[in-house]
Chains A and B, each alone.
Chain A
Amino acid sequence: MITRLLHACLLIGFLAVAPAVHAIDTQPAFDDPALQQRYERINRELRCLVCQNQTIADSNATLATDLRREVRELIAAGRTDDEIREFMIERYGDFVLYRPRMTATNFLLWGAPVILLAIGAIAVVRVVRRRSKEADIDTAGPEAGSS
């Protein structure tokens, strides 16, 4: 019984891990594990523009296949990760990145949480100060009058 349970757990564990290890390629792109790791990491950061909510590591669209081939060739040609990202941005725009960069056009989007937090903090400080002043008046006022 316990061994059966163990087997089931192992199976579930393998299923959970399997997609991450073997992406969509039928065989690894590189013999060198370090290069293979880079290849998989870059693939996971690039959007497939045909099926927009998938990375090219997840998608079996032909465009994703082509882009994976492109990444493989660029790595084989000795390009750095940044150069490969730049290569994709030049062709498909910033949208191709799953982890967006900060640019002049999306600055507000990046900055909005900080700005909103600052506005909230200022509002809290002002409300607290006003309330504490009102409280001072409430407590100090009548006492001063009665004595």
Chain B
Amino acid sequence: MKKSLIPLLLFVALGAFLFIGLFRDPRYVPSPLIGKPAPEFSLPSLQDASYPVASKELKGQPWVLNVWGTWCAGCRQEHDVLLAIAQQRAVPIVGLNWKDDNAAAQQWLRDLGNPYSVVAEDREGQVAIDWGVYGAPETFLIGSDGTVLYKHIAPMTMEVWNTEFLPRIESSRATAGSKS
């Protein structure tokens, strides 16, 4: 009987959904910021507190915001990848040093190398809240028009950079170019 197959099909469908659910990362929370204007900030520079790092100055070009801290193991893990990406000189990489010790952060950059064009110090975590940061390392891509294009939550890899970031950077540049 065909009718008797219906419960079986429903069961298989439910099973399929649950099975897919097994392989999804519950710690991954999609950012509501994607496609919205990037939150503005102005923070002191890590190396020189009298020098402000303002997000406004970065407008008109795609840029990357990388949230890190010396207390974060994943940040240590991704550091060499960031250095390699910085060498490409594709876009400015802005560091957001999140709730960290200033001296330790500066020492980290001296010891491991500095992939950042500039590093903003977010001692209180106020800017991190505005950006919806909940687990470093997090890496945002901001387009030429100042909207958030992509967010990667986990250590950066070359594969993610090549497949998710570079194509978006290129298309952001192309649309910005055709408008002007």
Q: How far is the CA of A99 from the CA of B30 in the complex (A)?
A: 18
- Which residue, A63, A67, A89, A91, has most C-beta atoms of chain B within 10 A? A91
Q: A66-B125, A90-B32, A93-B31 are in contact. Are A52 and B26 (CB under 8 A)?
A: yes
**A62 interfacial by beta-carbon distance below 8 Å:** yes
Q: How far is the CA of A49 from the CA of B135 in the complex (A)?
A: 8
Q: A49-B135, A50-B135, A62-B125 are in contact. Are A91 and B29 (CB under 8 A)?
A: no
Name the B residues within 8 Å of A70 (CB-CB). Answer: 129
A91-105 Cβ-contact flags toward B at 8 Å (1 or 0) = 111110000000000
A-B contact count (CB 8 A): 38
Name the B residues within 8 Å of A92 (CB-CB). Answer: 29, 32, 132, 134
Q: How far is the CA of A18 from the CA of B27 in the complex (A)?
A: 31
Q: How far is the CA of A95 from the CA of B26 in the complex (A)?
A: 11
Name the A residues within 8 Å of B32 (CB-CB). Answer: 89-94
Q: How far is the CA of A63 from the CA of B132 in the complex (A)?
A: 10
Q: How large, as a class, is the contact surface on chain B?
A: 10 to 19
Q: A49-B134, A62-B99, A67-B129 are in contact. Are A95 and B29 (CB under 8 A)?
A: yes
Interchain CB contact under 8 A, A93 and B125: no
* Other 11 A-B pairs with CB < 8 A, given A62-B99, A63-B125, A66-B126: A49-B134, A52-B26, A66-B99, A66-B128, A66-B129, A89-B32, A90-B32, A91-B32, A91-B132, A93-B30, A94-B32
> Contact residues of B with A, CB < 8 Å?
26-27, 29-33, 99, 124-126, 128-132, 134-135
- Shortest 3 CB-CB distances between A and B: which pairs? A49-B134, A91-B132, A93-B32
Complex A-B: 23 CB contacts under 8 Å:
A49-B135, A50-B134, A52-B26, A62-B125, A63-B125, A66-B99, A66-B124, A66-B125, A66-B126, A66-B128, A66-B129, A67-B129, A70-B129, A91-B32, A91-B33, A91-B129, A91-B130, A91-B131, A92-B29, A92-B134, A93-B29, A93-B31, A94-B32
